[in-house]
Amino acid sequence: EAGVVQSPRYKIIEKKQPVAFWCNPISGHNTLYWYRQNLGQGPELLIRYENEEAVDDSQLPKDRFSAERLKGVDSTLKIQPAELGDSAVYLCASSLDRSRYEQYFGPGTRLTVT
């Protein structure tokens, strides 16, 4: 069974530029999560999807961050414009549904904003 796939693995951009991250969850997993992880910290939830509906986006900085999950499968997280403080690892995770406790994480995208 293929795991959670993310791309790109690494991205370096200048501040004020846009950037997008892509995630393909495990087949059949209805719940998808985007986390941000700063160095030495645990993952922080940005947004959670149940199928194509965003059900928890309270921690998503909506002035510059946006996300979508068309057709309830793949998801894209976008930052526009990026700021220096956005440098972090962006992790995507999925679970079978919201009642299933185990989350499967992708390898993450390491973003560096210069």
Partner 1 sequence: GQNIDQPTEMTATEGAIVQINCTYQTSGFNGLFWYQQHAGEAPTFLSYNVLDGLEEKGRFSSFLSRSKGYSYLLLKELQMKDSASYLCAVRDVITGGFKTIFGAGTRLFVKA
Stretch that binds partner 1, among 14-22, 38-46, 62-70, 71-79 (CB under 8 A): 38-46
B/e letters for 32-69, b = 16+ CB within 10 Å, e = fewer, are bbbbbbeeeeebebbbbbeeeebeebeebeeeebbbeb
CB of 20 to partner 1, least distance (A): 20
- 3-state DSSP call for residue 59? coil
Residue of 1, 2, 27, 42 interacting with partner 1 (CB under 8 A):
42
Element (H, E) at 61: none
Q: Per-residue string for binding with partner 1, 82-111, x by CB under 8 A?
A: ---------x------x--xxxxxxxx---
Q: Is 65:50 a contact under the CB 8 Å cutoff?
A: no
Q: Between residues 72 and 81, which has the closer beta carbon with respect to partner 1? A: 72
Regarding 57 and contact with partner 1 (CB under 8 A), the answer is: no
Q: Is 20:87 a contact under the CB 8 Å cutoff?
A: no
CB of 29 to partner 1, least distance (A): 14
Contacts with partner 1, residue ranges (CB under 8 A): 4, 40-45, 48, 50, 55-56, 91, 98, 101-108
